Each structure stands twice: as structure tokens, then as C-alpha cells.
Amino acid sequence: MSILIKNGTLVTASETFKADLLIEGESISRIGQDLELGSAQKIDAAGKLILPGGIDPHTHFDLPMFGTVSSDDHYTGHKAAAFGGTTTVMDFVPLDSPSRRTPAGRSSG
């Protein structure tokens, strides 16, 4: 499956410019102007920015605190991140998380 994003403004770490972007499989295969590939699904990005996915290195999904847990669980937190353009999250792990406990409830470390 190929996707051709046309007429967008591509934003990189070093520059911003008008470009088309061809995605083949799960990889960007070409960046340029006036790209064509007849079999590709076309998306018109005129007037829109094409940005890399964001990384959030500090999230709190299902974080136990003060007798309750944070409002986002892993499903809702990841869904909200994706809708906001964040493609990678790194969840905060409490030192006394349930996953560090043995079946008998004793701390394993």
C-alpha cells in the first residue's frame, strides 16, 4: 500500500518547505515536488503542515496516587496521544508498582 501526501508544507528539524511525501509500506520512500504514483492513495495536504510524530517522555497512565489513580489508563492515554500527533509515549513507572510484587504480595526488589 502506497500513500502520496501532496502539496503540504514539510517541517523538519532544520527547515520548512513545500513538498510531496511518498509512503510505501511503513516507510517514507521519497520527498520531492510533483511526485506521482498512479496506484497510490492520494491525500491533499494543501494549506497543512506535515510534521514528524511527537514523543512524550513523561506520561502518567494508571498512576496510583493519594488513594486513587490518574485519569488516563493506557487505552485512553495512547488514544489521546495519537489524536494529538504523539506517536511515542514513555510511561512513568512508580517504584512500588503492582508489577514488582510477587504473587504473595511481597515486594520483589
Percent of the chain, pLDDT > 70?
87
Written as nine digits, the cell of 73 is 489508563
pLDDT band of residue 104 (cuts 50, 70, 90) is low
Domain chopping of the chain, boundaries: 2-50, 54-100
59 beta partners = 91
pTM: 0.63
pLDDT of residue 38: 87
* pLDDT exceeds 60 at position 64: yes
* pLDDT exceeds 70 at position 63: yes
* pLDDT exceeds 90 at position 43: yes
**What span, in angstroms and rounded, lies between the C-alpha atoms of 34 and 11?**
18
For the four alpha carbons of 94, 70, 56 and 6, in that order, the dihedral sign comes to positive
Q: What is the mean pLDDT of residues 60-83?
A: 89
**What span, in angstroms and rounded, lies between the C-alpha atoms of 96 and 104?**
15
Mean pLDDT estimate for the chain = 87
The CATH class that applies to domain 2-50 reads: mainly beta
Q: What is the mean pLDDT of residues 77-94?
A: 90
